[in-house]
Each structure stands twice: as C-alpha cells, then as structure tokens.
Chains A and B, each alone.
Chain A
Amino acid sequence: MKSGFFDYIQNKEEVLKFIKEPIMGWICTYIPEEIVIAAGFHPYRILPHTDPSLANSYLDSNFCPFIRSCLGEAINKKLPHIENLIMVNSCDAMRRLQDAWKDYLPDSFIYFLDLPRTNSKEAIQYYYQNLQLLITELEKHFKVNITRESLYHAILICNDTRKLLEKLFNLYKNNQIFLTALDLSQIIESSMILPKEEFNKFLTEFIQKINKEKNFSSGIKKLRNKFKVLVSGTIMDNPEIFEVIEDYGGKVVFIDMCTGSRYFQNQIQIQKLKNSNTNFLKLVAEHYLSKIPCPRMMDIEKRWANLLEVIRNYQVDGVIFYNLKFCDTSMFELPLIKKRLQEYRIPSLCLEGDYTSTTSGRIKTRIQAFMEVLEFAE
C-alpha cells in the first residue's frame, strides 16, 4: 500500500500554495540551500518537465536540453512563482541561460554565483568569498539579515534532509524495503522542492513506519533484482527509465546523479558546528567543494574512486551512463571512465536524454539489449 508520504510528495503544487516564505529558485547542486533558507526564502530547485523546443527561438537547438527546457518553462510562465533565482557558473550552457533569462525575463532577480573547478585551498577561499558576496547581495536587495544563528539553523535543516535521504537510500540498497528506484527518485526530487522542515518531518515518520513494517512495499511491484545496476550521469529528465531498468530485471543500486546521491552524500560536520569559533560559511564552502564532484569539476580521480567503491561494495553488474545531450563535461569524461570500466570488465551503456518523449522507445530497446549483455556476461 502506498503511504501517506507519497500522497504528500505527489501533491507538490498544493503544498507549495501554502508556503509563507518567498520562493528562491536554484538550478545546480553547487548552490548552498543553507544560505537561501538563512535569508528567509523557500529554496525551490528548478527541474523542468517540458519539451525544450519551447525555447527554440531563444537558444540554439545544439544546446543543453535541460537549460532550454528551463528557459522555455520560464518564458511560457510554466514555473511556479519564480521571480528570484540563483544560478551558478557551472557550464557554458548555464552562462548562456543566465544571459537569456536576464534579457527575456528582465523583471527577475538573478544572482550568478561563480564556482571554482577544484577544491584546492585557494579555490575554497575563492568560493567562500563568492558566498559572502551572495549574502551581501541578498541582504541588500531583499533587506534581510543573514545572521550566524540563521545560518546555523539552516545548516541543521539541510543536514537533516541529507541524513534522512541517506538513511532511506541505505535501506533501499540493502533491500530492507521494497521501494522502486522511481519512488526513490521522486522522494529525492521532492526534497529539493518542498519545504525542508516539513519534508524532514514526513520523511522521518515514513522511515520509522517502514522500519516497523517488515517487507514494506510501495505497492507497485516486486522486483526480480537479478542484475545490480549503477546509474551515473547528470540530471534525470525521464525517471521512468528506472522503471524500464527494473522491468528488464535490473536493480538500480546507486544513482550517481545531481538528482540522485550527489545531492545528499556527506553532511556538514556537526562537531565543527558546535565549536564557537567555527566560521559556518567557511564550512559550507568546504562542504560543497569537497563532496563527490560532478563531471563539471576537475577531480575525475575522486569521481572514479567513488564509482569504483560503489561497484565493489554493491557488486555492481553493469553501469548505465545517463547524460543529457550536448553536455560536454559529461561527454568528455566518458572516454576515460568507459576505458577503465572495460579494464575492470564491467559492461556499460551510454544513454542520452533530451527532455522529449520521442527517445523512450529507443532507450527501452537499448536497456533491454544491455540487460541481455549482463545475462550473457553472468
């Protein structure tokens, strides 16, 4: 039976109607929600669901479909109340999105946060300075005050969300609950959109409930769990893909994506927070630059080490790379990672999403073929 928790996360629009705080949109997981909350905003991750062709007359079609979809939704007023937005210098596409957003939606408040590509001491210091500038701008523009206390409180809230998601993920991957990867993906996505404190409360109750009920099932289906699959990539535009993997006998044991585990892996250390001399903002800067990097960052070895650890720990049978079309940072990483996987004799499959439904038939066939490869390899 589906829990009340699922009703809660599936009625996002209703929940959002009752939010008192103004909404601050954010786009990339390198934007600290802690600062947004500390400034008194409701952080809302922009995850579009429409065809990117809505933005065809604004951005080249040879361009990231996520970015085009974001702009298309914003211009066509399909996003809920997004008048304030923090973007980050994550890639070429994001830079151009900022240009276009500013030009075509001039009434929005937009802050463009610069982001280093490494986590050297100098890079952390630079990012820290940039976060200070963000705070100054928020305080000046919205006449708010981000205090040490409000930042501390916000860190605790975000830490709780991360901790709870990790707990749920561990229950899921250790087969202690029967939750599908699609359910899990919806829960993670909701955590980026719904009010954090309320979400944390509901998720805590949900975890307590499923811990009590042995063999909890989301009620959708029981899985065959034959092959353990790691899904790695950037943003999942079409979470139904997880269903397809499961339909053909796979179990998604890890989602190494910005809309997956990279959102909640590692927390800001509570011990350090208790120290009265601790600079909280510095901690935030360190945390974001030290987490498992996304393909945009330089430390490919850290990414590879993380993938390898997951592969070993969960005895992964195959890896599916799911990247969005025209994402250079991911595409440039594949030659190295795929070669290394070949050396370890781990089969892998590369899929590309483009925010349209037209590809799903082709993707389905490719996943089916990949599962047959895994069966053969077994």
Chain B
Amino acid sequence: MQNNFKRNIASSLIRKITKCPNTYNLVNLSSKLYFRNSSKSFKLWLDFLFSQLKESGRKKKPVVWANIYAPSELLYSLNLLPIYPELISGILTSIGLAGYFIETAESNFYSTDLCSFYRVAAGLAIKNYLPKPDLIISTSQLCDGTTKFFHNLSKYFRCKHYLIDTAYYNNKDTESYVADQLGKISYQICNSFEYKLDPKLINLSFDLSNKTREYIIRLNELRRNMPSPLSGWDAMAYILYMFFSSMGAKSGLEFYRTLFQEVENKVIQKAGVLEKEKHRILWLHQVRPYYKNKIIQNLKEKGAVISFEDVSKVYWKALDPERPWESLAQKINSNFGAGAVERRIEVIRDLIENYKIDGVIHFSQRGCRQSCGGAYLIKDFLKQKGVPMLILDGDGADVNNYSAGQTRTRIEAFLEMLA
C-alpha cells in the first residue's frame, strides 16, 4: 500500500517534469556538456530533438504523433509539431529505460511477441509521460503493427486518428488512392483546428525537403568511398532520427548540410571509421539494437565496418509543390520495403554493387514480420550472386532477447567466411 502510494507520487512527479517545456532546455544543456566532444551534427540533432519535445509541451501548435513513414513534409506543411513514438522508443532504449516501459505495456496486455519498439512506446503512452498529442497520423505501410498501434494510441489519448491507407502496388491508380486520402486528411485537419491550408507553407516545406534530399544523396555518394567515412551504426541512430523526422524542416537541412561537410572532410583526409578496413558490410533492416551491446565491437575486432544500410537509401523523387498530394503519394508508394520482396532485392543488389559490399547482415528484429519474412528469399538471391549473408536474429529494444555470446559466435563465424 505504502509502496503503491510512493510509486504514484513518483510517477506524477516524473509526469510533471517530463511535460514541463523548460525541462528540455536543461536536458539539452547538460547533454551538450556530456557530449562536448561529439560532432557538430550530433549536437544539432540534440537541439532538434529537445526543441521538439519542448515545443510539444508549449502547445503553440497542434502536436501530432506520427509513424516514421508518415511523410514529415506533410506534417510541416500543415503547421503541426510532429513527435515520433517509434524514434523516442529507440532513444529510451539507448538510455536504459526501455525495460520499464516494456514492463508497463506487457502488464496492459501487450504480448511479448510484439515488436519491442511498440511495446516501449505503448508503455510510454500508458504512463502518460509525454505531452499529449492533439491528433495522430499513421500510414499502414510496411508493418501491420503500426496501423493498430497508432489506433490504440488515439483511444488512449482520445484524439482523432488519421490513417493513410497505403497500397501494395505502385502505379497511377494507387497513387490517386493515396493522394486523395492525403488531400482529404489535410483539409479535415485544417478544418478541425480552424485554419486554412497555406500554399506558402507547402512550398517552404517541400523546398526544404528537396534541398535536404539532395544533401542525403550527396552524403550517400560520399559513403561509397573506401575506407568508409561514416559508420552505419551511427547512421541507424541519431542520423536515422533526422531522416524520418526532419524532412521539410529548416533544422533538417542544416543538420544534413553539416553532416555532409563533416563526412566530406573525412573523405578528403582519407579518414575511415576503421584504421584498417577489411570487410564492408551492408546492414539490412531499419533498426539495430539500441541498448548496450557488443555487436559493433565484434565487427570492429575483425576489421568489418557497416558501410551502408538499406534504410538510408533515398528512394523517392523530388517533391513537386504544385502537385503536393500526388507528390507525397508517390513518395509513400515508392518505398521499396512495401510490396513484393523483389523490390527490396533489387535495391539490395544495387547497394552491394555501389558500396562494394563484401557481406550482408540481415538484422531480424524479433516481432517484425515484414522484414524477417523476406530474409530467406534475400539470402537465396545473394547465394546465387555469391554474396554471403548472415541472418542475425535479435531485438532492437528488448535487451532480454539479446545474447552477447551467441551473437558474437555468429558474427565471428560469418566474418571468417568473408576472410
């Protein structure tokens, strides 16, 4: 009884702190101090992350919780402030808090077989530790869990859920199906918050997104260099956060411009991630483990570097502000992870060639069906091409599903094969 009382007091105190905008000023300052030797781009990410959390507490704009494949350009065009629970889950995992939220979710009937990132996010929502969203937007792309999870969130927070129902095929008909929904949803959102759709904002957001896209393409081009100038381990962490959440924002452009310059300098100085790069690895699947683990160390010891990861591939065309909904629909539809596995295999084939890849690691996130389901087919394809592939079963957020010894043995055996 006494323990429960103490726990409730502690929870409401944490809630007050995490919902207070000034908290994030303080956290940002202390993070900057802690990471004082980190790169400028990393610090720009910290600024972006904490300013978004701070602004979501201030509520000057409607706060939207969105999934990573809901195009952020749409959200900035509608003058919304986006928060991405899936990305926040990754951050909570990296600071060792995932277990607490996973436990909360599981005690609220979220099965242990579900994707751990959603279990963390569900726990966070149930605990109500972040400023509440005013609306929720999600696409049904790639993963079944997304659609239902965001719908559940809308029930917890009693706010409207706008679903962008995506299509399996990528053609003109499916483009209009998605574009019609985007147009309709945009007008509904504007109406519900009593403002008009602003073409200037669409222009600005699309322009920023296109410029950012150019920098990402140039950055990806730099990453073809040997030795690899940027580790995929970083690309799947704070850089990935910006990849999904900052397209169409000024901070996104500034971040990628800075990152590009940093990587360009490394290429000029011929400075690689490793002093002696022996094996260039392509990492498949959009996540990696974010808790403390030894995977990157295991790779490093054997001279292997993650030269590229499929999630960083720019798969969409530049956006056209004259045809905003069609353009965004095209971006959604051209995601190579959607549809048949052949689309993904085609991209993997090109990446292997372009990045002079020696071996492929497919990280099979426990709880992720869409990715795990295609792993054997990809492996069969790569076998024909003579490219070794390791299917590394693991979990990005739930440390209980990580076995350091087993993972090390599997990675070592794989790298020996490459040697």
User: Given A95-B370, A122-B180 in contact, is the A89-B376 Cβ separation under 8 Å?
Assistant: no
Contact partners of B340 in chain A: CB under 8 A: 95, 98-99, 102, 112
Pair A89/B145 contact, Cβ less than 8 Å = no
Instruction: Say whether B285 faces chain A, with CB atoms less than 8 Å apart.
Output: no
Whether A335 touches B109, Cβ cut-off 8 Å, given contacts A117-B165, A122-B181, A328-B114, is yes
Contact flag A334-B111 (CB < 8 Å), given A95-B370, A298-B163: yes
Q: How far is the CB of B350 from chain A (nearest CB, A)?
A: 19
A100–B377 touching, CB < 8 Å = yes
Give Cα A112 to B338, complex, Å: 14
The interface bits of chain A over 220-236 (1 if a CB of B lies within 8 angstroms of the residue's CB, else 0) are: 00000000000000000
**Interface digits, A306-340 against B, CB 8 Å rule (1 contact, 0 not)?**
00000000000000000001101101111110110
When A and B form their complex, what is the total count of cross-chain residue pairs whose Cβ atoms lie within 8 Å? 121
Q: Which residues of A contact B403 (CB under 8 A)?
A: none
B248: min CB distance to chain A, Å: 25
Given A63-B369, A328-B369, A335-B152, the answer on whether A96 and B341 have CB atoms closer than 8 Å is yes
Q: Which residues of A contact B109 (CB under 8 A)?
A: 334-335, 338-339, 350
Q: Is A296 an interface residue (CB 8 A)?
A: yes
Closest Cβ of chain A: how far from B256's Cβ, in Å?
31
Of A58, A63, A333, A336, which one neighbours B372 at CB under 8 angstroms? A63
> Interface digits, A90-112 against B, CB 8 Å rule (1 contact, 0 not)?
01110110111011000000001
The residue in chain B whose Cβ has the minimal distance to the Cβ of A57 is B376
Docked CA distance A116–B147 (Å): 12
Chain B contact-residue range equals 35 or more
Contact A60 B163 (CB under 8 A): no
Q: Distance in Å from the Cβ of B364 to the closest Cβ of chain A?
A: 6
Q: Is the CB of A63 within 8 A of B373?
A: yes
Q: Which residue of A lies closest to B344 (CB)?
A: A99
Judge whether A332 and B181 touch: CB under 8 Å.
no
Decide if B145 touches A332 in the complex (CB within 8 Å).
Answer: yes
- A60 and B364 contact, CB distance less than 8 A: yes
Q: Which residues of B contact A92 (CB under 8 A)?
A: 143-144, 369-370, 373
Tell yes or no: A267 within 8 A of B by CB.
no
Q: Is the CB of A146 closer than 8 A to any CB of chain B?
A: no
Q: A60-B375, A93-B373, A99-B377 are in contact. Are A332 and B149 (CB under 8 A)?
A: yes
A96, A328, A350, most chain B CB atoms within 10 A? A328
Give A299's nearest chain B residue, CB to CB.
B151
The reply to whether A329 and B148 form a contact with Cβ atoms under 8 Å apart is: yes
B279 at the interface (CB under 8 A from A): no
- Alpha-carbon gap, A298 to B181, bound state (A): 15
The total of chain A residues at the interface (CB under 8 A) is 44
What residues on B are CB-neighbors of A123 within 8 Å?
Answer: 165
- CB of A126 within 8 A of CB of B177, answer yes
Interface residues of B in 327-367 (CB under 8 A from A): 339-342, 364, 366-367
Does B140 have its Cβ within 8 Å of any Cβ on chain A?
Answer: yes
| Contact, CB under 8 Å: A58 / B376 | yes
Q: Do the beta carbons of A62 and B168 come within 8 Å of each other?
A: no
The residue that A103 contacts in the complex, of B151, B364, B380, with Cβ under 8 A, is B380
Interface check B244, CB cutoff 8 A: no
- Among A62, A64, A112, the one with the most B-chain Cβ atoms within 10 Å of its Cβ is A62
Q: Which of A45-91 contact B (CB under 8 A)?
A: 57-60, 62-64, 89, 91
Residues of A within 8 A of B173 (CB): 126, 129
B142 to chain A: closest residue by CB: A92
Provide the residues of chain B in CB contact with A166, threshold 8 Å: none
Q: Which residue of B lies closest to A115 (CB)?
A: B168
Chain A residues with Cβ below 8 Å from B181 are 122
Which residues of chain A have C-beta atoms less than 8 A from B366's C-beta?
62
Find chain A residues with CB under 8 A from B143 CB.
92, 328
A335 cross-chain contacts in B, Cβ below 8 A: 108-110, 122, 152
A281 to B: closest C-beta gap in Å: 16
Q: B169 at the A/B interface (Cβ < 8 Å)? A: yes
Say yes or no for A31: interface residue by CB 8 A criterion: no
Does B113 lie at the interface of the complex (its beta carbon under 8 Å from any beta carbon of A)? yes
Q: Does B303 contact A (CB under 8 A)?
A: no
Contact flag A64-B149 (CB < 8 Å), given A325-B113, A336-B155: no
A328 to B340: give the CA distance in the assembly, Å: 19
B163 touches A117 (CB 8 A): yes
Instruction: Say whether B374 faces chain A, with CB atoms less than 8 Å apart.
Output: yes
Chain B residues within 8 Å of A266, by CB: none
Please give the distance in Å from A105's CB to the nearest CB on chain B.
13
- A243 interfacial by beta-carbon distance below 8 Å: no
Chain B neighbourhood of A295, CB < 8 A: 148
Q: Does B167 contact A (CB under 8 A)?
A: yes
Is A118 part of the binding interface, using a Cβ–Cβ cutoff of 8 Å? yes
**Which residues from B are CB-within-8-Å of A126?**
167, 173, 177
Docked Cα-Cα span, A99 to B145, in Å, equals 20
Please name all residues of chain B whose beta carbon is closer than 8 Å to the beta carbon of A183 when the two chains form the complex.
none
Q: How far is the CB of A314 from chain B (nearest CB, A)?
A: 24
Q: Which of B364, B369, B374, B376 contacts A64 (CB 8 A)?
A: B369
Given known pairs A331-B113, A332-B152, A336-B152, the reply for A122 and B163 (CB within 8 Å) is: no
Chain B 102-124 interface residues, beta-carbon cutoff 8 Å to A: 108-111, 113-115, 118, 122
A300 within 8 A of B: yes
CB of A89 within 8 A of CB of B168, answer yes
Chain B residues within 8 Å of A325, by CB: 113
A300 to B153, CA, bound (A): 13
Q: Which residues of A contact B377 (CB under 8 A)?
A: 99-100, 103
Contacting B140 at CB < 8 Å: which of A58, A60, A117, A350?
A117
Q: Does A114 contact B (CB under 8 A)?
A: yes
* Complex-state Cα separation, A350 to B366, whole angstroms: 21
For A336, the chain B residues whose CB sits under 8 A away are 152, 155
- Smallest Cβ distance from B377 to chain A, in angstroms? 6
Known: A60-B375, A339-B109. A298 touches B370 (CB 8 A): no
Known: A62-B367, A300-B151, A335-B108. A95 touches B163 (CB 8 A): no
Contacts A98-B340, A117-B165, A339-B109; A333 near B148 (Cβ below 8 A):
yes
Q: List B299-342 residues whose CB lies under 8 Å from chain A.
A: 339-342
Among A60, A100, A117, A126, the most chain B Cβ lie within 10 Å of the Cβ of: A60
A327 → chain B, closest Cβ, in Å?
9
- Name which residue of chain B comes closest to A91, CB basis: B144
* Besides A62-B393, A63-B373, 14 other A-B contacts (C-beta < 8 A): A57-B376, A95-B370, A96-B369, A99-B340, A114-B167, A114-B174, A122-B177, A122-B181, A123-B165, A328-B148, A329-B144, A334-B109, A335-B108, A350-B109
11 pairs, CB–CB < 8 Å, chain A vs chain B: A92-B144, A92-B370, A96-B373, A99-B340, A99-B342, A102-B340, A126-B177, A326-B113, A328-B367, A328-B369, A329-B147
Chain A positions within 8 Å of B, measured between CB atoms, are 57-60, 62-64, 89, 91-93, 95-96, 98-100, 102-103, 112, 114, 116-118, 122-123, 126, 129, 295-296, 298, 300, 325-326, 328-329, 331-336, 338-339, 350
Return the 5 tightest CB-CB contacts between A and B, nearest first: A96-B373, A332-B148, A92-B369, A60-B372, A99-B341
